[in-house]
Amino acid sequence: MNNSLKSTLKSIGVIILGGSGYGAKEFLRLAILHPELEIASIISSTNSGELVSKIHKELNSLCNLKFSKTVDLDVLAQFAHKFIVLALPHEESEKFVINNFQELQTKQICILDLSGAFRLKNKTERSNYYGPIVKELTEEIINSFEYGLTEINSDKIKSATNISNPGCFATGAILSIHPLKSLNILNIAIDGKSGSSGAGRGLKQNFHHPELSGSSFPYAVLKHRHSAEIIEYCIENKKINLAFTPHVIPISRGMLISSYVFLSESKSKQEIIELYTNTYKNCPFIRLVQDPSEIRLVAGSNFCDIYIEVKDNIICVTAALDNLIKGMAGQAIQNINLKCGLPESMGLNHSGLGLV
């Protein structure tokens, strides 16, 4: 991606909807590093006609595209692989997909949704967390989406019609406990801590820096919507008690998730480490670390650092990741790579910042 974001040699074309938000900004920043991905257009109804770099100032001299107001699917015609990335609230994503589904299918454009609109197949849970399913949201539409957690669903992502990116907390939690699925689990307790960027770009009083600085607070206690993803795609509705509560901490990006898994029998630390090593041996963005996970070591990267400790029948797994990258935009590009038959690390193989 050069200064104009234009190259006739690139094979992947992307339209971004919701171009002014954090998710779109991170996707753009990462796309600059990708040798096969071109941003064909960026849609923002509130910033139409403005230079993208005026809103996302860190892209100054790197991106000279302007925000468009309407979607023109024809800009993707020249590309071998066509994607439309929805960086929208879930209600808006749902509406866009319903209104454009048939045309997108006909033109073989893959929808990659960053919201929660299409993550859950369980209708009851989806209604509980994302509102009632409207009649226009057909089974065909819902079933066209595959859950885009790359490390656990890669085969389905490769052949997916459309992809629904996971939630950031769900990403960290599922990656933490997925290798333990074969064991006899009694209970799971998950404590999540995330920076304020998880709330998006809109202003909210308790996420406002003067309110959050020097403080921390839990929210959606025992009823966060990402619990449903953890249950559906990892616990798989087995009779396991799950308790999950997220907290906001006074940093802008990154998250740390501590999962406590209680087994019916004791296991050695070596047994558990071998289980994780074998499960993630072909996953380039999972790093099993020997010291407790730290946000600063993954911030700005697509890595998830996992640390394991075992005491009798209790396993504690900590996972650190960047909520905007591995928890959103980086994972989206990872999924695009898989879908296009490219190495999943293409354009993403850079380190964390170390200092934030």
Answer yes or no: is pLDDT of 95 > 70.
Answer: yes
Edge-to-edge, what's the strand order for the sheet holding 304-311? 217-218, 241-248, 185-194, 255-263, 314-321, 304-311, 286-288
Residue 119 has pLDDT above 90, yes or no: yes
d(CA 115, CA 94): 9
The amino acid occupying position 3 is N
* Encoded tokens for 178: 């997925």
pLDDT band at 302 (very low <50, low <70, confident <90, very high): very high
> pLDDT at residue 2 above 50?
no
Q: What are phi and psi of 240, to 5 degrees?
A: -125, 130
How much of the chain exceeds pLDDT 90, in percent? 76
Q: What integer pLDDT is reported at residue 4 of this predicted model?
A: 42
Query: What residues form DSSP beta bridges with 305?
Result: 287, 320
Could you tell me the two tokens for 342?
């490219």
State mean pLDDT over 125-130.
Answer: 88
**What's the pLDDT tens digit per position in 326-355?**
999 999 999 999 999 999 999 999 999 998
Q: Which of 73, 89, 148 is nearest to 327 (CA)?
A: 148
Cα–Cα distance list, 59 to 91, 156, 252, 274, 305 (Å): 29, 34, 19, 42, 28
Record the pTM: 0.93
Q: Give the relative orientation of helices 150-158 and 330-339 as an angle to the nearest 10 degrees.
A: 40
- Identify which of 92, 57, 99, 75 has the alpha carbon closest to the alpha carbon of residue 6: 75
Token representation of residue 221: 């206690």
Domains annotated for the chain, with CATH where assigned, are 12-165+326-339 (3.40.50.720), 169-323 (3.30.360.10)
- Note the pLDDT tens digit of each residue in 26-47: 999 999 889 999 999 999 988 9
What tokens appear for 200 in the block?
């998006």
pLDDT, position 210:
75
Question: Span 72-88, mean pLDDT?
Answer: 96
Residue pair 256/196 in contact by the 8 Å Cβ criterion:
no
Q: To 10 degrees, what angle do helices 168-177 and 150-158 make?
A: 100
List pLDDT tens digits, range 177-211: 999 999 999 999 999 999 887 666 555 666 677 77
Backbone angles phi, psi at 50, to 5 degrees: -80, 150
Could you list the active site residues? 168
Unique residue bearing structure tokens 């925000």: 67
